[in-house]
Amino acid sequence: MRKIVFQGTVCDLWVEQNAKRGPKVRLLDARTHALFAIVSVDLNDEPLDGSEFVILSHAENEGLLEALVEQGVVVRTGRTVQRGGQRLEVVWMPERVEEVA
């Protein structure tokens, strides 16, 4: 499983592939295996390519997008979507990450 550092914590990148809605992505604490951060959000009405997803990068996830870009996990698409009062970015994974289900 790929290791990611976010907010000073080493995390495992957990990915469950969904061809119709893009990957479901979470960060798990690498030491305790507890859920550390929900990375992606499922927007049923948003058309996405197979490796694209909408990233949650506000509130407790502030800085997550930048950390994942810096560590080569995701690439910005330049697209955003509206969810409630938030503008969220659509990103894609340039390489397939080992799926864990």
pLDDT tens digits for range 66-95 = 999 999 999 999 999 888 888 899 999 887
pLDDT tens digits for range 13-42 = 999 877 666 788 999 999 999 999 999 988
Cβ-Cβ contacts under 8 Å for 12 (sequence gap 6 or more):
1, 2, 3, 4, 27, 28, 29, 30, 33
Please tell me the distance from the alpha carbon of residue 27 to that of residue 29, in angstroms, as a whole number. 7
- Angle (CA) 71-33-99 rounded to 5° is 60
Of 27-31, 49-53, 64-68, 94-98, where does mean pLDDT reach its minimum? 94-98
Tokens of 50: 């197979």
What residue ranges do the domains of the chain occupy? 3-92
More confident residue, 70 or 1: 70
Please tell me the distance from the alpha carbon of residue 93 to that of residue 21, in angstroms, as a whole number. 14
The reply to whether the predicted model has a pTM over 0.95 is no
More confident residue, 63 or 99: 63
